[in-house]
Amino acid sequence: MRNEIVPVKNIAALARAGQALIDRPGQLDHGLGMITGESGVGKTKASYWFALEHRAFYVRAMSAWRSPTPLLESLGDVLGVQNKRSSYRMLKAVADEMSRQNRPVFVDEADYLLRFDVLRDTIRDLHEATRVPVILVGHTGIERKVKESPQFENRFLIDVRFEPLSLDDARLLAARLCEVQVADDLLEDLHKYARGNTRKINTGLYRIEQCAATLQVERMSLTQFRQVKGTYFLGAAA
C-alpha cells in the first residue's frame, strides 16, 4: 500500500472549508470549525494532513479529561509553553502564545471535551482571547452538544461532515494506494461490504494485495479473491 493523501470528496470539502476559515475577513471575529462523521470515514487522517499543510497545531482529547488542566497542558506542550501553577495562569500563557504564533489549532476526539461544560467553555475562552481558528474533530452527534450553548454555537463558521466514500472515491483510493490492479467487480464487492467506510476499504485493499502476492499476480478479480478465500476485514469475506 502506498502512503499518500488521496483527494476524495471528503478531503476536497475539508480543504475548501478549512481555507475559508483561515482566510475569513476581519469583520468575522468568530472562527470555530467542526469536522464530524462516523467512525472510520477518515476524519483524523484528513485533519492531520490539513494541519501539516497549514502549520497548524494538533492535539487529541482523551477520555480521562475532566477539567481544563490536561487540555491546557496538551496545548502548552505543542505551543512550547511551560506549565503554570494555576489554571488561570496556564490559560493566559496558552492564549498569549496562540495569539503570538497565530496558527490554527485542531482538537481531535472532541467528543471528550464536549461532555463537560468547563472544557467547552475553555475552548471558547481561548478563541475569544486569540481569534485564532480552532477546529473540533469528532463523531456524528457532537453538533447536538455544541448547540446546548448558544454562545458557543454562534462562534462556528464552518461545519464539515465526512460522508461514507462513494464507489468513485473507492476507485480513486484503489488506483492511488493499491500496489496491484483491482478489478471493478472486486472493488464493487469490497465497497458494498465496507459501506463506504474508509478504514475498512483501506484494510480490504491491503488484504487484496496480500492475496495477489499469494497468487503471484498483478491484477485481482473477485473470482481470484474468492479462490484464495480472501477476507476484506474482520467478519467480511467475498
Q: Per the confidence metrics, is the pTM higher than 0.75?
A: yes
Three-class SS state of 75: helix
pLDDT digits (tens, 9 = 90+) for 19-52: 999 999 988 889 999 999 999 999 999 999 999 9
Domains and CATH numbers, the chain: 9-162 (3.40.50.300), 167-237 (1.10.8)
**What gap in Å lies between CA 207 and CA 116, rounded to an integer?**
41
75 phi and psi, to 5 degrees?
A: -65, -40
Of all residues in the chain, the percent with pLDDT exceeding 90 is 92
What is the residue-averaged pLDDT of the chain?
A: 95
Q: Is the confidence at residue 224, as pLDDT, over 90?
A: yes
Q: One-letter amino acid identity for 214?
A: T
- What pLDDT was estimated at residue 228? 86
The closest alpha carbon to 8, from 191, 169, 163, belongs to 169
Contact 124, 134 (CB under 8 A): no
- What pLDDT was estimated at residue 232? 87
Side-chain-side CA neighbours of 176 within 13 Å: the count stands at 13
216-226 mean pLDDT:
94
**What gap in Å lies between CA 69 and CA 102, rounded to an integer?**
22
- What pLDDT was estimated at residue 29? 84
pLDDT digits (tens, 9 = 90+) for 165-184: 999 999 999 999 999 999 99
| CA-to-CA dists, residue 86 to 89, 101, 113, 169, angstroms | 5, 23, 20, 48
| CA-to-CA dists, residue 83 to 56, 58, 72, 90, 175, angstroms | 21, 18, 9, 6, 47
**DSSP calls for 154-190:** TTEEEEEEEPPPPHHHHHHHHHHH-SSEE-HHHHHHH
How far is it between the farthest Cα atoms of the chain? 65
pLDDT digits (tens, 9 = 90+) for 199-215: 999 999 999 999 999 99
pLDDT band (50, 70, 90) for residue 124: very high
- What pLDDT was estimated at residue 69? 96
pLDDT digits (tens, 9 = 90+) for 93-102: 999 999 999 9
Q: Please give the DSSP secondary-structure letter assigned to residue 113.
A: G
Contact 107, 137 (CB under 8 A): yes
212-238 mean pLDDT:
85
- What pLDDT was estimated at residue 235? 62
pLDDT band (50, 70, 90) for residue 238: low
How buried is 115 (Cβ within 10 angstroms: 0-12 exposed, 13-18 middle, 19+ buried)? middle
Task: For residue 233, give every residue at least 6 positions away whose Cβ sits within 8 Å of its Cβ, in sequence order, or none.
Answer: 193, 194, 200, 203, 204, 207
C-alpha cell at 144: 447536538
- What pLDDT was estimated at residue 229? 82
Contact 166, 201 (CB under 8 A): no
Q: Is the confidence at residue 234, as pLDDT, over 80?
A: no
Residue linked to cell 482566510: 23
Contact 209, 221 (CB under 8 A): no
pLDDT digits (tens, 9 = 90+) for 81-119: 999 989 999 999 999 999 999 999 999 999 999 999 999
